[in-house]
Amino acid sequence: MRLIIFGAPGSGKGTYASRLKSKLGIVAIATGAIFRELAKEETSLAETVKSFLELGQLVPDDIVIDVLKGRLMKKVLEGFILDGYPRTLVQAKALDALASIDAVIHLVVPDWIIIERLSNRRICSKCGEVYNIRFLKPRRPETCDKCGEKLLQRADDTPKVIRERIKIYEKQTQPLLQYYEERIPIVRCKCDSIDMPPEAVVANILERLEALDLT
C-alpha cells in the first residue's frame, strides 16, 4: 500500500504514520526528519536547507525532489506512507512518475490545538526523543528520560513561526487536495480535541481504508 498523509505541522502526521506503518506492514518516510538530519551536515546544501527550516519556510522543489527521489525508489515495492511530501504540485507530479498512490489521509485539526502542541514540544538533543512539557512531561525538567541529555525547543516551534507554517501549509495544500481528489480516494479525519488519543485516530483511519478495500 502506498499512502500520503496530509496535515498542518503539529496535526500528528508523524505519530499516526509511525503507528500505521506497523499495522499495515509498510515504511514511513518523513520529509521533515530527513531535512533536519541533512541540516546538521557541514555542506552548502545543509546551510541552504537550514536557512529555510529556521524561518519555517518550505525547502524549494528541486532540492526536495532530488533528496527524496533516491529514498522513494528503494521503498516503492515495500509500500510506504509519505509524511511531508509532496507539498507542491510540482512535487506531486514528480511523485506520479515514481509510484502510484492508493489513498491520501487528510488530518483536519484546529489551529489552536496545533499551536498548543508545538509550542510545548521539546526534543532530546542527543537521541531525538520527543516530549511535551504540558501533556508528556519528562521525569526531570528539561532532561531526557532515555539518555539524560538536555531537551531543546526547535527554532520553528515558537507561536509566531508556527502560525506562519500553518499559513504556508494551507496555501500549498489546497491545490494538492484538489489534484488528488480528482484521482484517488481521500480519507478525511477530524480531531477537535487536544486530548484525543492517537489510537482512536489510527483506528478511524484503518476503518476508512478497509471500507475502501485497501486493507
Catalytic residues: 13, 87, 121, 154, 165
Scored b (16 or more CB within 10 A) or e, 171-199 reads eebeebeebbeeebbebebebeeeeeeee
8 Å CB contact between 142 and 150 = yes
Which of 92, 112, 90, 107 is closest to 184 using CA atoms?
Answer: 92
Q: Which amino acid, 164?
A: E
Cell (9 digits) for 121: 514540544
End-to-end Cα spacing for the chain: 8
SS3 content of the chain, % helix, strand, coil (to 5): 45, 15, 35
Q: What is the DSSP letter of 38?
A: H
* Main-chain dihedrals φ then ψ at residue 29, nearest 5 degrees: -120, 110
CA distance 139 to 84: 31
